[in-house]
Amino acid sequence: MPELPEVETVRRGLIKKVKGRKILKCKVLWNGIIAYPEVSKFVKEIENKVIKDIERRGKFLMFNLDDYYLISHLRMEGKYFIKDHNEELSKHDHVIFSLDNDKELRYNDTRKFGKMYLVKKDELNLTPISKLGLEPWDKELTKDYLKDKLNRRLPIKTLLLDQSIITGIGNIYDDEILFLSKINPNTYGKDLTDKNILDIITNTRTVLEKAIEKGGTTIHTYTSVDGITGMFQQELLVHGKKDMPCPTCKHKIIKTTINGRGTYYCPNCQK
């Protein structure tokens, strides 16, 4: 699943190709992708809008269309491609935006789990954006904020995935952040020390920045708009490394499941 660094990589790739372009027409081939408003209204309202910019909140892409936002969540397998308008459609192209330069922006999604919302800028409350917590780099992400939010009888692994606390941490980076912070993923949020919390903040930023720099991590079939494959996978320390030696102490890395999510950690470094 694309996580924050992958979505940021897609955003940076897309922006170079579509910024300033006008959407002349939109065709929806799979209605389930359009979450709001109803498809006929979506198609009509997005016509003739200019893509002023593309922003990102958590794992959502936000196409800034002047007085509207097109909000897009890629979920498991969503991808954007830029193609010539006369190029044949692929099997899983579900939403087609015809641009004013004879190109098409095509949303492709083999699993069809992705969602799009088209709202006026003051209607973000109609979208999941309004429920997101802080971005990892938000100045308001402080020890006190996080201590308050994490003060629960739930494993820290689970709490870091809660997008209403910090937005943008997915399953892969969660493991990496906890490894660097030397915290056992089963530790309850309420039992974390102040140092643990400060380490989580620092390492969240470090891990995600490094991943963005590398173009994200490729798991399964994810590719960015340029077809660039994320290089961060080669840098992962514990995620996906079952039975391999811990990069710090050489102890075998363990795989376990916490609230249904595959979790990797070093039982020696993360006691």
Chain contacts with Zn ion (rule: CB under 5 A): 246, 248-249, 251, 266, 268-269
Nearest one of 81, 76, 107 to 6, comparing CA atoms = 76
**Which is catalytic among the residues 2, 136, 155, 185?**
2
CB 191 to Zn ion: min, Å: 21
Q: Minimal CB distance to Zn ion: which residue? A: 246
Is residue 3 within 8 Å of 58, Cβ to Cβ?
no
Q: Is 2 a catalytic residue?
A: yes
**C-alpha span between 99 and 114 (Å, rounded):** 21
**Which is catalytic among the residues 56, 210, 261, 267?**
261
DSSP string, 169-237: --HHHHHHHHHHTT--TTSBGGG--HHHHHHHHHHHHHHHHHHHHTT-B--TT---TT-PPPBGGGG-S
Question: 128 or 267, CB closer to Zn ion?
Answer: 267
Question: 101 or 186, CB closer to Zn ion?
Answer: 186
CB 164 to Zn ion: min, Å: 31
Count of CA atoms in the C-beta half-sphere (13 A) of 155: 17
CB 269 to Zn ion: min, Å: 3
Question: 110 or 256, CB closer to Zn ion?
Answer: 256
Q: Is 261 a catalytic residue?
A: yes
Active site amino acids: 2-3, 59, 261
